Amino acid sequence: MDIPRLDLRDKAEARQFLLSYGYDLAVAQDREEMSSTFRRALAMIREQLMEEGESIPSELTDPTQLEDLADLLMLASQREPGKAHLQRWACAILRVMHVYVHLRNDLFSAFRDEIQQQVLAPIESAVSQDLEGSGVFILREPAAASALERVQLERFDVKPFKTTASAVIKLLARPERVALTLLDKIGVRFVTRGYFDSYRVVRMLIDQNIVSFPHIIPDQSTNTLFPLNVFIEAMDELEHSQAGHGAISDEFVEKWLERHYDQHAGRAEFQARRNDFSGPDHRFIKFIARRLVTVPNARDPDSKPFRFFYPFEVQIMDRGTFERQSQGPTAHEAYKERQKKAARERVFGLHHEVL
């Protein structure tokens, strides 16, 4: 993705390069898939990455001048000074095509419906509307009445499926990412009334086996909402100081947590993963879990089904964070613009000339 040029000497070598990549230009289906991917890459560049006044050279868009993908590879290998402009453009197109190829050949592309149903159904079945209309609750079971068995939520959202265009931009913007490690194509978000309820949601998801904790990916967990060490200390002190005082309101617990954090902010231990595109107010608890997905063999229902683990994202944040995220500098559109800028710089080179 990030090398400045290819180094192929002739079209025969270019075709061998493509063969090892996975495509045989002698096969009609492969030629059509490459042509389709080429067209999608051109559309993506025009619609998402080009700035006013830029245009893709006709040598790279005119079928009479570009016979097949081997010609594009040869242009990406050019060292003639007079063709440096075309060489940079050819590399830019190939970078976008490369990402498209990997996205269109992943498990989600092949089994989208099965993944969606089997990943989301257990979580959605645990969330229901309170019969009195006072809010949405995550419940152990629909008939649960005990306050200890439910958490009132401000909102619950199933994350919109990441479009192919959005996934391409994300992978282009982050060099450490490849399609195989794009772990947030599907996910859910819980918005709670406060920090305490956010941790209660985590506990209930695990305790009620809505999410299987052995399938959580350890290095993909983030907590920038409220430091765990301060939370545990505060709750231990609360338990001892309020012993024998009867029921404690959620409002009291929330103020207790905030006060304890103010007093011990210097010792706060957050678990943060770097994301250059998120603003400083984007605070949440997030983890990536996996669900074992089963796909029956449609041709032979009696044969062994195809099974695989598929990742999904769980995001939890309090009401205040959600409101700031929706209105402030971490708004989704601003986040996307920062991603798009990084993708453009990577596709065309960090210090590219005017195109």
Hey, which residues does 255 pair with through a beta bridge? Answer: none
Local structure of 289: helix, strand or coil:
strand
* Of 191-205, 232-246, 324-338, the least confident: 324-338
Contacts (Cβ under 8 Å, ≥6 apart) of 62: none
The answer to whether residue 134 scores a pLDDT higher than 70 is no
Distance CA 259, CA 214 (A): 34
Provide the mean pLDDT of the chain.
86
Distance CA 13, CA 24 (A): 13
What is the reported pLDDT for 72? 95
Task: Report which listed range, 166-170, 264-268, 312-316, is most confident.
Answer: 312-316
Q: What is the DSSP code string of 149-168?
A: GEEEEEEEEEPPPPPHHHHH
CB 109 within 8 A of CB 103: yes
- Helix H, strand E, coil C: the string for 80-102 is CHHHHHHHHHHHHHHHHHHHHHH
Q: Give the mean pLDDT of 309-332.
A: 82
Q: Give the mean pLDDT of 172-190.
A: 83
The closest of 211, 221, 200, 192 to 126, measured between CA atoms, is 211
- Domain residue ranges of the chain, discontinuous segments joined by +: 11-105, 107-227+270-343
Confidence (pTM): 0.80
Q: Residue 235 is encoded by which pair of tokens?
A: 């709750």
Distance CA 201, CA 38 (A): 45
Total Cβ atoms within 10 A of residue 223: 22
What is the reported pLDDT for 353? 47
Instruction: Supply the Cα-derived Rg of the chain in whole angstroms.
Output: 25
Banded pLDDT at 351 (limits 50, 70, 90): very low
Banded pLDDT at 148 (limits 50, 70, 90): low
Q: Residue 130 is encoded by which pair of tokens?
A: 């309170």
pLDDT tens for residues 21-59? 999 999 999 999 999 999 999 999 999 999 988 999 999
The answer to whether residue 178 scores a pLDDT higher than 90 is no
Provide the 8-state DSSP code for 209. Answer: T
The answer to whether residue 352 scores a pLDDT higher than 80 is no
Contacts (Cβ under 8 Å, ≥6 apart) of 309: 215, 290, 291, 292, 293
The answer to whether residue 276 scores a pLDDT higher than 60 is no
- How close are the terminal C-alpha atoms of the chain, in Å? 19
CB 190 within 8 A of CB 315: yes
Q: Which helix (H) or strand (E) holds 137?
A: strand 136-139
Q: Give the mean pLDDT of 242-259.
A: 83
